[in-house]
Amino acid sequence: MVALCLDPLRQIFLSGVYGLLLVLLFVILQAPDVALSMLVVSTVAYPLIVLIAISRTRRERGKE
């Protein structure tokens, strides 16, 4: 689904949702430590880096 969605901004939200699903799976499987790691990485660190890159490409496209 992430690959089928063409807008980068929507892709990053979708991948965040998948991260959250994985967190829920880890919680259900009684691995709270892994769930916490996944939570902070998939919802904080990773989207932030990608969002910065996306905003850069948008600015450059706006200039053209």
Partner 1 sequence: MSGRQRVRAWIAAPVLGLFAALLGWGFSGAPAFGAFHGAYGELLNRIAVPQRHSTNVVTAIVFDYRGFDTMGEEFILFASVVGVVLLLREMREPAGDQDDPVTSDAIRLFGLVMMSVVVVAGLWVAAFGLVTPGGGFQGGVAIAGGIVLVFLAAGYRPWTRFGSQHLLDPLEGGGAAAYVALGLAALIAGAPFLHNLLGLGVTGTLKSGGSMTLLNWAVALEVAAANLVLYTEFLESYLVPHLSRR
DSSP state, 41? I
- The half-sphere exposure of 16 on its side-chain side, counting CA atoms within 13 A, is 16
Amino acid, single-letter form, for residue 28? I
Window of 6-14, 16-24, 33-41 that interacts with partner 1 by CB under 8 A: 33-41
Q: Which stretch binds partner 1 (CB under 8 A): 3-11, 16-24, 54-62?
A: 54-62
Under rule CB under 8 A, residue 39 binds partner 1 = yes
Give yes or no for residue 24 binding partner 1 (CB under 8 A): no
| 33 touches partner 1 (CB under 8 A) | yes
CB of 5 to partner 1, least distance (A): 19
